[in-house]
Amino acid sequence: MLQFWNMFNARAYASKQSALSFKQCKGFGLILLLILLGQIMIVELGGEMFSVTPLHPIDWLILTVATSPVLLIGEIIRFIKRKL
Protein backbone atom coordinates (compact mmCIF):
# COMPACT_ATOMS: atom_id res chain seq x y z
CA MET A 1 0.00 0.00 0.00
CA LEU A 2 2.98 2.32 0.42
CA GLN A 3 3.48 2.36 -3.35
CA PHE A 4 -0.24 3.03 -3.85
CA TRP A 5 -0.09 6.18 -1.71
CA ASN A 6 3.21 7.23 -3.20
CA MET A 7 1.63 7.30 -6.68
CA PHE A 8 -0.28 10.38 -5.55
CA ASN A 9 2.94 12.06 -4.42
CA ALA A 10 4.74 11.13 -7.63
CA ARG A 11 1.94 12.65 -9.70
CA ALA A 12 2.08 15.89 -7.73
CA TYR A 13 5.88 16.03 -7.61
CA ALA A 14 7.32 19.39 -8.67
CA SER A 15 3.87 20.90 -8.92
CA LYS A 16 2.18 23.25 -6.55
CA GLN A 17 -1.07 21.34 -6.67
CA SER A 18 -2.55 18.90 -4.24
CA ALA A 19 -1.99 15.23 -5.00
CA LEU A 20 -5.76 14.87 -4.63
CA SER A 21 -6.50 17.23 -7.53
CA PHE A 22 -7.60 15.14 -10.50
CA LYS A 23 -8.53 17.94 -12.93
CA GLN A 24 -5.50 17.49 -15.18
CA CYS A 25 -5.21 13.69 -14.97
CA LYS A 26 -8.48 12.15 -16.06
CA GLY A 27 -7.08 8.64 -16.45
CA PHE A 28 -5.31 8.65 -13.08
CA GLY A 29 -8.41 7.49 -11.19
CA LEU A 30 -8.79 4.48 -13.47
CA ILE A 31 -5.12 3.59 -13.07
CA LEU A 32 -5.43 3.85 -9.28
CA LEU A 33 -8.46 1.60 -9.30
CA LEU A 34 -6.78 -1.02 -11.48
CA ILE A 35 -3.64 -1.08 -9.33
CA LEU A 36 -5.63 -1.30 -6.09
CA LEU A 37 -7.80 -4.12 -7.46
CA GLY A 38 -4.68 -5.88 -8.72
CA GLN A 39 -3.04 -5.70 -5.29
CA ILE A 40 -6.17 -7.02 -3.62
CA MET A 41 -6.53 -9.85 -6.12
CA ILE A 42 -2.89 -10.88 -5.73
CA VAL A 43 -3.16 -10.99 -1.94
CA GLU A 44 -6.59 -12.62 -1.81
CA LEU A 45 -6.21 -15.07 -4.71
CA GLY A 46 -2.44 -15.36 -5.27
CA GLY A 47 -1.89 -18.11 -2.73
CA GLU A 48 1.15 -20.26 -3.38
CA MET A 49 2.01 -18.57 -6.67
CA PHE A 50 2.88 -15.34 -4.85
CA SER A 51 3.52 -16.86 -1.40
CA VAL A 52 0.72 -14.81 0.16
CA THR A 53 -2.08 -15.47 2.62
CA PRO A 54 -5.48 -13.74 2.30
CA LEU A 55 -6.09 -10.91 4.75
CA HIS A 56 -9.12 -10.21 6.89
CA PRO A 57 -10.98 -6.95 6.20
CA ILE A 58 -9.67 -5.46 9.46
CA ASP A 59 -6.12 -6.18 8.29
CA TRP A 60 -6.79 -4.31 5.04
CA LEU A 61 -8.12 -1.39 7.07
CA ILE A 62 -5.08 -1.38 9.37
CA LEU A 63 -2.70 -1.49 6.38
CA THR A 64 -4.53 1.32 4.62
CA VAL A 65 -4.54 3.58 7.67
CA ALA A 66 -0.99 2.72 8.72
CA THR A 67 0.46 3.48 5.28
CA SER A 68 -1.64 6.59 4.51
CA PRO A 69 0.86 8.97 6.18
CA VAL A 70 2.92 8.60 2.99
CA LEU A 71 0.24 10.66 1.24
CA LEU A 72 -0.60 12.86 4.22
CA ILE A 73 2.99 13.95 4.83
CA GLY A 74 3.42 14.76 1.14
CA GLU A 75 0.23 16.83 1.20
CA ILE A 76 1.37 18.73 4.30
CA ILE A 77 4.73 19.51 2.70
CA ARG A 78 3.06 20.72 -0.52
CA PHE A 79 0.60 22.83 1.52
CA ILE A 80 3.45 24.51 3.40
CA LYS A 81 5.33 25.19 0.15
CA ARG A 82 2.21 26.78 -1.38
CA LYS A 83 1.86 29.11 1.61
CA LEU A 84 5.51 30.25 1.55
Domain range holding 25? Answer: 2-83
Cα distances from 40 to residues 11, 12, 18, 46, in angstroms, run 22, 25, 26, 9
**pLDDT at position 81, please?**
87
Residue 45 has, within 13 A of its CA and on its CB side, a CA count of 6
Q: In 3D, which of 23, 5, 26 has the Cα closest to residue 15?
A: 23
Average pLDDT by stretches of 10, the chain with 84 residues: 90 83 82 93 93 96 95 92 86
The tally of domains found in the chain comes to: 1
The pTM for the full model equals 0.78
Cβ-contact 78, 19 below 8 angstroms: yes
Rounded CA separation 42/60 (Å): 13
